[in-house]
Structure 1
């Protein structure tokens, strides 16, 4: 339903869509995990992350959804792992405004992708 319309999504809409895809991962057909629409949503979310337009809860949700979607396609997994790692400094920057849950979720996601970014992990912790 988002194919062809991804570029029109706001940050909230993109994160909401991505979060739902992550939560529904177990019910999705694995053959579609690296589909063009999913890749487009990942790129859209990445633009909002890199642009600094997301709050702590949104960043935490992106990190969690990324890890939930990993596991069936190595190319997509690399992109999702990179997305988690790009969220970490932004979440660390917003750590004073973040809830404990958002910080813990961010740390868990970093551990899940085996991130060695001790700077971001230290700021979040």
Structure 2
């Protein structure tokens, strides 16, 4: 996904939905990693610094290429050729990584974003 308007809308809705579950002094700094092919990666950094900035990185070839350029312990080896589908979540310390694997219209709708937020919340609380 390389449509900036769609990526911005995802960030806006995701952050708005999850903000009501955060402490008053916690903000979300977002780093968006667009992908020339399908999908995109979002790094959401929870912080007490009132930093609500949104930074767009240059587009990468695939989601796998993005994962080689950000700190992560989700994949060992080289994820460059891994094909992602749907939404994958990675929670580590104060960071939420949302890996969107496709570009279908259903994956980028308001209900899909709300579902992503609910999955983050249930995962962070240890639910199955």
Larger helix share, 1 or 2 = 1
TM-score range, shorter chain: under 0.3
TM-score calculated relative to the size of structure 2: 0.27
Larger strand share, 1 or 2 = 2
TM-score calculated relative to the size of structure 1: 0.28
